[in-house]
Copies of this chain bind each other. A is one copy, B any other.
Amino acid sequence: MTFNTLKEIYSIEATLPPNFKDFEIVGVAPLELATPNHLSYVDQKSYVKKLKDTKAGGVLIRAEYASKVPSASQAIITQNPHLAFAKISHAFKVDMFKTPSTKTPPNLGANVTLMPHVVVGEGVEIGDNTIIMANVVLGDGVKIGKNCKIYPNVTIYQNTQIGNEVIIHANSVIGSDGFGYAHTELGAHIKIEHTGIVQIDDFVEIGANTTIDRAVFGTTHIKQGVKIDNLVQVGHNCVLGEHSIIVSQVGLSGSTTMGRNVVLGGQVGTGGHMHIGEFTQIGGKGAVGKDLPPHTNYAGAIPAMEIHEWHHFLATLRRFAKKQKPSLIDKAKGLWKR
Protein backbone atom coordinates (compact mmCIF):
# COMPACT_ATOMS: atom_id res chain seq x y z
CA MET A 1 0.00 0.00 0.00
CA THR A 2 1.42 3.37 -0.94
CA PHE A 3 0.76 6.78 0.43
CA ASN A 4 -0.59 7.94 -2.92
CA THR A 5 -3.21 5.25 -2.70
CA LEU A 6 -4.16 6.31 0.79
CA LYS A 7 -4.46 9.88 -0.39
CA GLU A 8 -6.80 8.78 -3.10
CA ILE A 9 -8.99 6.77 -0.75
CA TYR A 10 -9.21 9.06 2.24
CA SER A 11 -8.84 12.43 0.52
CA ILE A 12 -6.34 13.71 2.99
CA GLU A 13 -4.83 16.96 1.86
CA ALA A 14 -1.08 16.72 2.18
CA THR A 15 2.09 17.85 0.49
CA LEU A 16 4.72 15.23 -0.18
CA PRO A 17 8.38 16.26 0.06
CA PRO A 18 9.99 16.81 -3.42
CA ASN A 19 12.15 13.72 -3.10
CA PHE A 20 9.41 11.53 -1.56
CA LYS A 21 10.16 7.80 -1.70
CA ASP A 22 7.09 5.61 -1.68
CA PHE A 23 7.12 2.77 0.90
CA GLU A 24 4.94 -0.04 2.18
CA ILE A 25 2.75 1.00 5.11
CA VAL A 26 1.54 -1.69 7.52
CA GLY A 27 -0.18 0.62 9.92
CA VAL A 28 -0.34 3.89 11.83
CA ALA A 29 1.30 4.32 15.23
CA PRO A 30 2.46 6.95 17.71
CA LEU A 31 6.04 8.20 17.29
CA GLU A 32 7.52 5.94 19.93
CA LEU A 33 5.94 2.72 18.59
CA ALA A 34 6.21 3.33 14.83
CA THR A 35 8.53 1.23 12.62
CA PRO A 36 9.88 2.23 9.17
CA ASN A 37 6.65 0.76 7.77
CA HIS A 38 4.33 2.92 9.90
CA LEU A 39 2.93 6.40 9.48
CA SER A 40 2.95 8.59 12.58
CA TYR A 41 2.00 12.21 13.33
CA VAL A 42 2.94 15.34 15.24
CA ASP A 43 -0.05 17.44 16.24
CA GLN A 44 1.25 19.69 19.00
CA LYS A 45 4.46 21.32 20.04
CA SER A 46 5.06 18.88 22.89
CA TYR A 47 5.41 16.02 20.41
CA VAL A 48 8.22 17.72 18.46
CA LYS A 49 10.88 16.69 20.93
CA LYS A 50 9.95 13.02 20.44
CA LEU A 51 10.74 13.27 16.72
CA LYS A 52 14.46 12.69 17.03
CA ASP A 53 13.93 9.13 18.37
CA THR A 54 11.15 7.98 16.06
CA LYS A 55 11.62 5.16 13.56
CA ALA A 56 8.44 6.03 11.63
CA GLY A 57 8.73 5.80 7.84
CA GLY A 58 6.59 8.92 7.47
CA VAL A 59 5.34 11.63 9.80
CA LEU A 60 2.19 13.70 9.22
CA ILE A 61 3.14 17.18 10.40
CA ARG A 62 2.43 20.87 9.95
CA ALA A 63 4.83 22.87 7.80
CA GLU A 64 6.26 24.81 10.74
CA TYR A 65 7.70 21.66 12.37
CA ALA A 66 8.63 19.75 9.20
CA SER A 67 12.32 20.58 9.41
CA LYS A 68 12.53 18.65 12.71
CA VAL A 69 11.68 15.28 11.10
CA PRO A 70 14.85 13.14 11.15
CA SER A 71 16.46 12.24 7.85
CA ALA A 72 15.60 8.53 8.06
CA SER A 73 11.90 9.50 8.09
CA GLN A 74 9.86 11.58 5.64
CA ALA A 75 7.75 14.64 6.49
CA ILE A 76 4.25 14.63 4.99
CA ILE A 77 2.94 18.15 5.38
CA THR A 78 -0.71 18.70 6.22
CA GLN A 79 -2.73 21.34 8.07
CA ASN A 80 -4.41 18.90 10.48
CA PRO A 81 -2.08 15.92 11.11
CA HIS A 82 -4.39 14.31 13.71
CA LEU A 83 -7.31 14.33 11.27
CA ALA A 84 -5.16 12.90 8.47
CA PHE A 85 -3.94 10.23 10.88
CA ALA A 86 -7.53 9.32 11.80
CA LYS A 87 -8.58 9.04 8.17
CA ILE A 88 -5.61 6.84 7.29
CA SER A 89 -6.27 4.62 10.35
CA HIS A 90 -9.40 3.35 8.60
CA ALA A 91 -7.29 1.44 6.07
CA PHE A 92 -5.88 -0.67 8.89
CA LYS A 93 -8.91 -1.40 10.99
CA VAL A 94 -9.42 -4.91 12.33
CA ASP A 95 -12.95 -6.30 12.23
CA MET A 96 -14.61 -8.28 14.99
CA PHE A 97 -15.35 -11.11 12.59
CA LYS A 98 -14.02 -11.95 9.15
CA THR A 99 -17.15 -11.82 7.01
CA PRO A 100 -18.13 -14.23 5.65
CA SER A 101 -16.35 -16.45 8.12
CA THR A 102 -14.41 -19.46 6.88
CA LYS A 103 -15.55 -21.11 10.07
CA THR A 104 -12.33 -22.79 11.15
CA PRO A 105 -13.13 -24.58 14.39
CA PRO A 106 -11.79 -23.06 17.61
CA ASN A 107 -8.87 -24.65 19.43
CA LEU A 108 -10.46 -26.05 22.58
CA GLY A 109 -8.67 -27.50 25.63
CA ALA A 110 -9.90 -30.49 27.62
CA ASN A 111 -13.34 -30.34 29.22
CA VAL A 112 -14.36 -27.02 27.70
CA THR A 113 -18.11 -26.27 27.84
CA LEU A 114 -19.73 -24.19 25.09
CA MET A 115 -23.38 -23.63 25.98
CA PRO A 116 -26.15 -23.05 23.40
CA HIS A 117 -25.92 -20.17 20.93
CA VAL A 118 -22.30 -19.35 21.70
CA VAL A 119 -20.77 -17.72 18.60
CA VAL A 120 -17.05 -18.13 18.11
CA GLY A 121 -14.92 -16.29 15.53
CA GLU A 122 -11.81 -17.51 13.75
CA GLY A 123 -8.63 -18.51 15.52
CA VAL A 124 -10.22 -18.59 18.96
CA GLU A 125 -8.42 -20.60 21.69
CA ILE A 126 -10.02 -21.72 24.96
CA GLY A 127 -8.15 -23.47 27.80
CA ASP A 128 -9.04 -26.55 29.85
CA ASN A 129 -12.19 -26.58 32.00
CA THR A 130 -13.37 -23.17 30.89
CA ILE A 131 -17.14 -22.64 30.65
CA ILE A 132 -18.59 -20.29 28.04
CA MET A 133 -22.25 -19.78 28.84
CA ALA A 134 -25.22 -19.25 26.58
CA ASN A 135 -25.27 -16.49 23.94
CA VAL A 136 -21.68 -15.37 24.53
CA VAL A 137 -19.98 -13.97 21.41
CA LEU A 138 -16.21 -14.27 20.96
CA GLY A 139 -14.62 -12.30 18.11
CA ASP A 140 -11.78 -13.51 15.90
CA GLY A 141 -8.51 -14.25 17.66
CA VAL A 142 -9.85 -14.20 21.21
CA LYS A 143 -7.78 -16.29 23.63
CA ILE A 144 -9.15 -17.46 26.99
CA GLY A 145 -7.14 -19.49 29.51
CA LYS A 146 -7.99 -22.36 31.85
CA ASN A 147 -10.73 -22.60 34.49
CA CYS A 148 -12.50 -19.44 33.38
CA LYS A 149 -16.23 -18.72 33.58
CA ILE A 150 -17.78 -16.43 30.99
CA TYR A 151 -21.42 -15.75 31.90
CA PRO A 152 -24.30 -15.39 29.42
CA ASN A 153 -24.62 -12.60 26.85
CA VAL A 154 -21.03 -11.39 27.30
CA THR A 155 -19.43 -9.93 24.15
CA ILE A 156 -15.65 -10.18 23.73
CA TYR A 157 -14.20 -8.29 20.76
CA GLN A 158 -11.43 -9.49 18.45
CA ASN A 159 -7.98 -10.39 19.77
CA THR A 160 -8.77 -9.95 23.48
CA GLN A 161 -6.33 -11.99 25.59
CA ILE A 162 -7.62 -13.53 28.83
CA GLY A 163 -5.57 -15.50 31.37
CA ASN A 164 -6.54 -18.34 33.73
CA GLU A 165 -9.15 -18.43 36.54
CA VAL A 166 -10.91 -15.36 35.15
CA ILE A 167 -14.65 -14.73 35.76
CA ILE A 168 -16.66 -12.33 33.58
CA HIS A 169 -20.27 -11.74 34.59
CA ALA A 170 -23.28 -11.47 32.32
CA ASN A 171 -23.69 -8.86 29.58
CA SER A 172 -20.27 -7.27 30.01
CA VAL A 173 -18.36 -6.08 26.95
CA ILE A 174 -14.60 -6.54 26.64
CA GLY A 175 -12.58 -4.92 23.87
CA SER A 176 -15.07 -2.43 22.44
CA ASP A 177 -13.56 0.47 20.48
CA GLY A 178 -12.11 3.28 22.57
CA PHE A 179 -13.71 6.70 22.32
CA GLY A 180 -11.30 8.63 20.11
CA TYR A 181 -11.91 11.00 17.21
CA ALA A 182 -10.13 13.66 15.21
CA HIS A 183 -12.10 16.78 14.37
CA THR A 184 -12.74 18.49 11.06
CA GLU A 185 -12.90 22.24 10.58
CA LEU A 186 -16.66 21.98 10.29
CA GLY A 187 -16.99 20.29 13.67
CA ALA A 188 -17.54 16.70 12.54
CA HIS A 189 -15.61 13.86 14.20
CA ILE A 190 -13.58 11.24 12.32
CA LYS A 191 -13.16 7.94 14.12
CA ILE A 192 -9.64 6.83 15.03
CA GLU A 193 -9.61 3.08 14.47
CA HIS A 194 -8.51 1.24 17.60
CA THR A 195 -6.13 -1.55 16.61
CA GLY A 196 -4.88 -2.31 20.12
CA ILE A 197 -6.27 -4.99 22.43
CA VAL A 198 -7.44 -5.75 25.95
CA GLN A 199 -5.31 -8.09 28.06
CA ILE A 200 -6.79 -9.57 31.25
CA ASP A 201 -4.42 -11.48 33.55
CA ASP A 202 -5.04 -14.42 35.89
CA PHE A 203 -7.55 -14.36 38.77
CA VAL A 204 -9.39 -11.26 37.55
CA GLU A 205 -13.15 -11.03 38.19
CA ILE A 206 -15.33 -8.61 36.22
CA GLY A 207 -18.94 -7.74 37.15
CA ALA A 208 -22.09 -7.52 35.06
CA ASN A 209 -22.71 -4.89 32.36
CA THR A 210 -19.15 -3.56 32.67
CA THR A 211 -17.27 -2.21 29.63
CA ILE A 212 -13.52 -2.36 28.97
CA ASP A 213 -12.32 -0.61 25.82
CA ARG A 214 -9.47 -1.83 23.61
CA ALA A 215 -6.35 0.33 23.29
CA VAL A 216 -5.93 2.65 20.35
CA PHE A 217 -2.46 1.06 20.04
CA GLY A 218 -0.91 -1.41 22.44
CA THR A 219 -2.89 -2.75 25.38
CA THR A 220 -5.57 -1.92 27.89
CA HIS A 221 -4.18 -4.05 30.72
CA ILE A 222 -6.07 -5.52 33.68
CA LYS A 223 -3.36 -7.09 35.82
CA GLN A 224 -3.45 -10.17 38.01
CA GLY A 225 -6.07 -10.40 40.75
CA VAL A 226 -7.94 -7.19 39.91
CA LYS A 227 -11.62 -7.26 40.94
CA ILE A 228 -14.05 -5.04 39.01
CA ASP A 229 -17.71 -4.59 40.01
CA ASN A 230 -20.81 -3.97 37.82
CA LEU A 231 -21.38 -1.09 35.35
CA VAL A 232 -17.75 0.07 35.42
CA GLN A 233 -16.18 1.88 32.44
CA VAL A 234 -12.49 1.26 31.72
CA GLY A 235 -11.29 3.52 28.90
CA HIS A 236 -8.73 2.74 26.20
CA ASN A 237 -5.11 2.20 27.29
CA CYS A 238 -5.85 2.05 31.02
CA VAL A 239 -3.50 -0.05 33.16
CA LEU A 240 -4.98 -1.46 36.39
CA GLY A 241 -2.36 -2.61 38.90
CA GLU A 242 -2.37 -6.05 40.52
CA HIS A 243 -5.14 -6.72 43.07
CA SER A 244 -6.80 -3.35 42.60
CA ILE A 245 -10.51 -3.13 43.53
CA ILE A 246 -12.88 -1.09 41.38
CA VAL A 247 -16.36 -0.67 42.86
CA SER A 248 -19.46 -0.30 40.71
CA GLN A 249 -20.10 2.59 38.31
CA VAL A 250 -16.50 3.84 38.44
CA GLY A 251 -15.46 5.58 35.21
CA LEU A 252 -11.79 5.49 34.19
CA SER A 253 -10.91 7.90 31.38
CA GLY A 254 -8.48 6.85 28.69
CA SER A 255 -4.90 6.12 29.79
CA THR A 256 -5.65 6.13 33.52
CA THR A 257 -2.92 4.05 35.15
CA MET A 258 -2.60 2.79 38.69
CA GLY A 259 -0.23 0.83 40.90
CA ARG A 260 -1.11 -2.34 42.77
CA ASN A 261 -3.87 -2.67 45.39
CA VAL A 262 -5.58 0.61 44.58
CA VAL A 263 -9.20 0.79 45.83
CA LEU A 264 -11.73 3.00 44.03
CA GLY A 265 -15.14 3.49 45.67
CA GLY A 266 -18.42 3.49 43.75
CA GLN A 267 -18.96 6.19 41.09
CA VAL A 268 -15.37 7.49 41.27
CA GLY A 269 -14.27 9.18 38.03
CA THR A 270 -10.81 9.99 36.71
CA GLY A 271 -9.58 12.51 34.18
CA GLY A 272 -7.49 11.23 31.30
CA HIS A 273 -3.81 10.31 31.55
CA MET A 274 -3.67 10.33 35.36
CA HIS A 275 -1.77 7.99 37.63
CA ILE A 276 -2.92 6.68 41.01
CA GLY A 277 -0.11 5.42 43.23
CA GLU A 278 -0.14 1.91 44.67
CA PHE A 279 -2.28 1.15 47.73
CA THR A 280 -4.10 4.49 47.45
CA GLN A 281 -7.84 4.47 48.21
CA ILE A 282 -10.49 6.89 46.92
CA GLY A 283 -13.91 7.21 48.54
CA GLY A 284 -17.19 6.88 46.64
CA LYS A 285 -17.98 9.60 44.05
CA GLY A 286 -14.39 10.91 44.26
CA ALA A 287 -13.21 12.98 41.29
CA VAL A 288 -9.58 12.39 40.38
CA GLY A 289 -8.23 15.53 38.73
CA LYS A 290 -4.48 15.02 39.12
CA ASP A 291 -1.89 12.31 39.74
CA LEU A 292 -2.26 10.88 43.25
CA PRO A 293 0.64 9.59 45.37
CA PRO A 294 0.83 6.03 46.73
CA HIS A 295 -0.39 4.85 50.15
CA THR A 296 -2.89 7.65 50.75
CA ASN A 297 -6.66 8.09 51.14
CA TYR A 298 -8.70 10.52 49.07
CA ALA A 299 -12.34 11.54 49.10
CA GLY A 300 -14.54 14.26 47.70
CA ALA A 301 -16.42 14.93 44.52
CA ILE A 302 -15.28 18.52 43.87
CA PRO A 303 -12.65 17.15 43.11
CA ALA A 304 -10.96 14.56 45.30
CA MET A 305 -8.55 15.84 47.96
CA GLU A 306 -6.53 14.15 50.68
CA ILE A 307 -9.03 12.60 53.07
CA HIS A 308 -8.18 14.66 56.16
CA GLU A 309 -8.19 17.84 54.11
CA TRP A 310 -11.62 16.78 52.77
CA HIS A 311 -13.07 16.21 56.23
CA HIS A 312 -11.76 19.57 57.39
CA PHE A 313 -12.95 21.32 54.19
CA LEU A 314 -16.46 20.00 54.53
CA ALA A 315 -16.82 20.57 58.29
CA THR A 316 -15.45 24.09 58.03
CA LEU A 317 -17.70 25.10 55.17
CA ARG A 318 -20.82 23.70 56.74
CA ARG A 319 -20.02 25.50 59.98
CA PHE A 320 -19.38 28.68 58.01
CA ALA A 321 -22.59 28.40 56.03
CA LYS A 322 -24.64 27.86 59.16
CA LYS A 323 -23.27 31.08 60.65
CA GLN A 324 -24.11 33.23 57.62
CA LYS A 325 -27.33 35.16 57.51
CA PRO A 326 -29.66 34.53 54.59
CA SER A 327 -29.70 37.16 51.88
CA LEU A 328 -32.86 39.07 51.10
CA ILE A 329 -32.97 37.26 47.78
CA ASP A 330 -32.94 33.86 49.44
CA LYS A 331 -35.66 34.98 51.83
CA ALA A 332 -37.74 36.22 48.92
CA LYS A 333 -37.29 32.91 47.11
CA GLY A 334 -38.27 30.99 50.21
CA LEU A 335 -35.02 29.04 50.02
CA TRP A 336 -34.11 29.69 53.62
CA LYS A 337 -36.67 28.17 55.91
CA ARG A 338 -34.75 26.98 58.96
Of A26-34, A49-57, A75-83, A151-159, the one touching chain B: A151-159
Of A12-20, A60-68, A264-272, the one touching chain B: A264-272
Q: B134, A119: Cβ atoms under 8 Å? A: yes
- From 285 to 338 in chain A, residues with beta carbon under 8 angstroms from any chain B beta carbon are 285, 287, 300-303, 305, 308-309, 311-322, 324, 326-327, 330, 335-338
Q: B319, A313: Cβ atoms under 8 Å? A: no
Of A3-11, A36-44, A92-100, the one touching chain B: A92-100
A interface, how many residues as a size bin? 35 or more
| A187 partner, pick from B261, B302, B327, beta carbons under 8 A | B261
Chain B residues contacting A336 (CB-CB under 8 Å) are 308, 311-312, 315
Chain B residues contacting A280 (CB-CB under 8 Å) are none
A184 nearest in chain B by CB position: B243
Q: A227, B179: Cβ atoms under 8 Å? A: yes
Chain B residues contacting A311 (CB-CB under 8 Å) are 330, 335-336
Known: A249-B233, A301-B287. A135 touches B133 (CB 8 A): no
A210 nearest in chain B by CB position: B209
C-alpha spacing A317/B321, complex, angstroms? 7
Chain B residues contacting A97 (CB-CB under 8 Å) are 115, 133
Known: A251-B267, A318-B313, A320-B316. A207 touches B227 (CB 8 A): no
For the complex, is A169 an interface residue (Cβ under 8 Å from B)? yes
C-alpha spacing A161/B159, complex, angstroms? 32
Chain B residues contacting A173 (CB-CB under 8 Å) are 169-171, 208-209, 230
Least CB distance from A208 to B in Å reads 4
Q: A155, B170: Cβ atoms under 8 Å? A: yes
- In this complex, the member of A97, A266, A319 whose beta carbon has the largest number of chain B beta carbons within 10 angstroms is A266
13 residue pairs bridging A and B, Cβ less than 8 Å apart: A133-B137, A137-B170, A153-B155, A169-B176, A176-B207, A189-B225, A233-B248, A266-B269, A308-B337, A309-B322, A309-B338, A312-B330, A315-B335
Since A99-B115, A267-B267 are in contact, a sample of 14 more A-B pairs with Cβ atoms closer than 8 Å, ordered by chain A residue number, is A96-B151, A155-B171, A171-B171, A171-B173, A171-B209, A176-B207, A181-B245, A187-B260, A230-B233, A253-B266, A253-B284, A269-B284, A308-B336, A317-B321
- Residue numbers of A with Cβ under 8 A of B are 96-97, 99-100, 113, 115-117, 119, 131, 133-135, 137, 151-153, 155, 157, 167, 169-173, 176-177, 179, 181, 187-189, 191, 203, 205, 207-211, 213, 225, 227, 229-231, 233, 235, 242-243, 245, 247-249, 251, 253, 260-261, 266-267, 269, 271, 284-285, 287, 300-303, 305, 308-309, 311-322, 324, 326-327, 330, 335-338
